């Protein structure tokens, strides 16, 4: 069977790999000159200044939850090396106050100082014990028509910490979290927060390289269809130059808010579902500016530290441990922190476009799942599940099962 996959991000490439393994003739159409989507590994699918040419620094996804069962299984099948990594986190307020997780506290304090930090953290946990108990008992499906505001306020530092975890996981502006899906947030909190973390050795893009090593289909770079025309018998991809390519099936592995602009004659169900999705455009910065911690007693930063600035909230993640860098020099990945970072310390900037996971968008997914496969058309993406790499893998596996 001839299958076109539009989009060469994580979901697109995993889908291409699985369908290729089943013997289908697969062609991937990627509109840019690189694969991986929001995977941005310096010196893999992203070029870097020559003085950093030996470093695999991440400008997108940097670590994964140990609860990503399907994704870990895929990595093992592809023989991608990965290992557990300890992850710390802290919240740094603009007034100089701060709260540190146990791992971060132990990395920076000893003796009485460490005891004080742990007592401070324990008090924080105790103030939100009832909130935590409520969250662990909630049913994600019952939250489908609820927003994050309905289940988690930001009235205390501890509940704000939970909301910041959503900001980090989905790189969503803190000010936009009020309308963030409660169903998605709850799934993340219940399944991933306490499960531990792992990193991919050699950079996240390594698993895309492993896919390409065994993939027998075609990949077209800098090429995306202008229009997708579907009939009962076939799918036609029409390009800017007027050229048309015919396929048996098409898989849309692009952000959901872009799908309607590509389909020539969308069904009423498709219009209803995909109209609810909007774009989330962000920028991440790889840098080496240690001054972010100058107002706090921190020598060893952690893998996702949250900073309150005058304008907003942002995060700063030290890359050394999760990228396996043995260097005394610290390298970071920051989001919403550009005003705090000296330009001379910026190594790389990366623009990302992801879905905005609003309550209405997530609510529409159930219908999308029922039409997946209709009219020779399939939809792949992390947004159909958890919005993360586990979701991308599950989505790709589902399409592999649907296409016989």
pLDDT at 25: 98
- Name the DSSP letter for residue 383: G
At residue 140, φ and ψ (nearest 5 deg) are -55, -35
pLDDT score, position 77: 98
92 and 142, same domain (yes or no): yes
Residue 57 in domain: yes
pLDDT given for residue 383 in this prediction: 97
Chunk the chain into consecutive blocks of 10 residues (it has 404) and report each block's average pLDDT, rounded to whole numbers. Answer: 97 98 98 96 87 88 96 98 94 94 94 94 83 82 90 82 92 92 92 91 97 98 96 93 95 97 95 95 95 94 93 94 90 95 94 95 92 94 96 97 92
Task: Return d(Cα 355, Cα 200) in angstroms, integer.
Answer: 24
The single residue listed with the structure tokens 């963030």 is 180
Same domain, 273 and 308: no
User: What is the pLDDT, as a whole number, of residue 347?
Assistant: 94
* Among 322, 337, 356, residue at a domain's last position: 356
DSSP class of 153: -
Give pLDDT, residue 129. 76
Task: Tell how far CA 260 is from the center of its chain.
Answer: 22
What pLDDT is attached to residue 82? 97
Residues 175 and 284 in one domain: yes
d(CA 287, CA 318): 10
Q: What's the confidence (pLDDT) of residue 244?
A: 95
Q: Tens digits of per-residue pLDDT, 283-305?
A: 999 999 999 999 999 999 999 89
- Position 152 scores a pLDDT of 87
From 356, 377, 394, the end of a domain falls on 356
Element (H, E) at 28: strand 25-29
Q: What is the CATH number of the domain that holds 392?
A: 3.50.50.60
- What's the pLDDT at 134? 80
26 in any annotated domain: yes
The answer to whether residues 251 and 112 belong to one domain is no
125 shares its domain with 266: no
Same domain as 141, residue 246? no
Number of C-alpha atoms within 13 angstroms, CB side, residue 334?
30
DSSP letters spanning 52-116: GTT---BSS---EETT-HHHHHHHHHTT--EEEE---EEEE-TTS-EEE-HHHHHHH--HHHHHH
318 shares a domain with 266: no
Same domain, 286 and 189: yes
Q: Is residue 361 part of a domain?
A: no
Angle between helices 111-127 and 157-170 (to 10 degrees): 90
User: Which pair of tokens denotes residue 76?
Assistant: 């093992």
Return d(Cα 91, Cα 177) in angstroms, integer. Answer: 17
Q: What is the structure's pLDDT at 193?
A: 83
Is 307 found in the same domain as 332? yes
Shared domain for 381 and 294, answered yes or no, is no
Residues in the chain: 404
**Is 328 inside a domain boundary?**
yes
Please give the pLDDT value at position 132: 77
SS3 403: coil
> Whole-angstrom Cα distance, residue 183 to residue 185?
6
Q: In this predicted structure, what is the pLDDT of residue 48?
A: 78
Looking at the 3D structure of the chain, how many domains does it have? 2
| DSSP bridge partners of 237 | 228, 245
Q: Are residues 340 and 382 in the same domain?
A: no
Q: Are residues 178 and 300 in the same domain?
A: yes
In angstroms, the CA 403 to CA 48 distance is 39
The confidence score (pLDDT) of residue 140 equals: 85
Sign of the dihedral defined by the CA atoms of residues 389, 338, 305, 45, in that order = positive
Residue with tokens 């921190």: 298
Q: For the residues of 298-341, what is the DSSP string, one character each? A: -SS--SEEEEE-SS-EEEEEE-TTTTT---SS--EEEES-GGGS
Host domain of residue 298: 88-195+279-356
């Amino acid at each position: 069977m001839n299958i076109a996959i539009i989009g060469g991000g994580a979901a697109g490439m995993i889908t291409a790999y699985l369908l290729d393994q089943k013997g289908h003739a697969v062609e991937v159409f990627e509109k840019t000159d690189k694969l991986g989507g929001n995977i941005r590994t310096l010196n893999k699918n992203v070029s870097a200044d020559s003085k950093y040419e030996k470093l695999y620094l991440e400008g997108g996804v940097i670590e994964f939850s140990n609860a990503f069962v399907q994704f870990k299984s895929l990595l093992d099948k592809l023989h991608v090396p990965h290992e557990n990594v300890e992850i710390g986190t802290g919240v740094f307020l603009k007034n100089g106050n701060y709260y540190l997780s146990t791992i971060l506290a132990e990395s920076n304090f000893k003796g009485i100082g460490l005891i004080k930090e742990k007592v401070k953290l324990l008090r924080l946990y105790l103030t939100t014990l009832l909130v935590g108990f409520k969250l662990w008992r909630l049913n994600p499906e019952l939250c489908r028509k609820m927003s994050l505001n309905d289940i988690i306020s930001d009235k205390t530092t501890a509940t704000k910490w939970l909301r910041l975890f959503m900001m980090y996981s989905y790189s969503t502006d803190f000010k936009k979290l009020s309308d963030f899906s409660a169903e998605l947030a709850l799934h993340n909190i219940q399944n991933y927060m306490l499960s531990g973390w792992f990193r991919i050795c050699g950079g996240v893009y390594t698993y895309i390289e492993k896919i390409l090593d065994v993939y027998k289909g075609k990949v077209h770079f800098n090429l995306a269809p202008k229009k997708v025309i579907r009939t009962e018998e076939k799918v036609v991809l029409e390009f800017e130059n007027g050229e048309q390519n015919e396929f048996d099936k098409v898989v849309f592995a692009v952000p959901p808010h872009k799908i309607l602009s590509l389909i020539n004659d969308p069904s009423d169900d498709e219009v209803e579902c995909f109209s609810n999705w909007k774009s989330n455009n962000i920028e991440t910065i790889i840098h080496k500016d240690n001054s972010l911690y100058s107002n706090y007693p921190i020598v060893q930063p952690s893998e996702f530290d949250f900073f309150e600035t005058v304008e907003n909230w942002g995060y700063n993640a030290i890359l050394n441990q999760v990228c396996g860098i043995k260097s005394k020099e610290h390298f970071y990945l920051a989001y919403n922190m550009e005003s705090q970072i000296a330009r001379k310390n910026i190594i790389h900037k990366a623009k990302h476009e992801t879905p905005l996971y609003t309550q209405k968008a997530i609510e529409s997914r159930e219908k999308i799942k029922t039409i997946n496969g209709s009219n020779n058309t399939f939809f792949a993406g992390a947004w159909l599940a958890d919005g993360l790499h586990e979701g991308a893998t599950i989505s790709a596996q589902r399409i592999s099962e649907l296409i016989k």
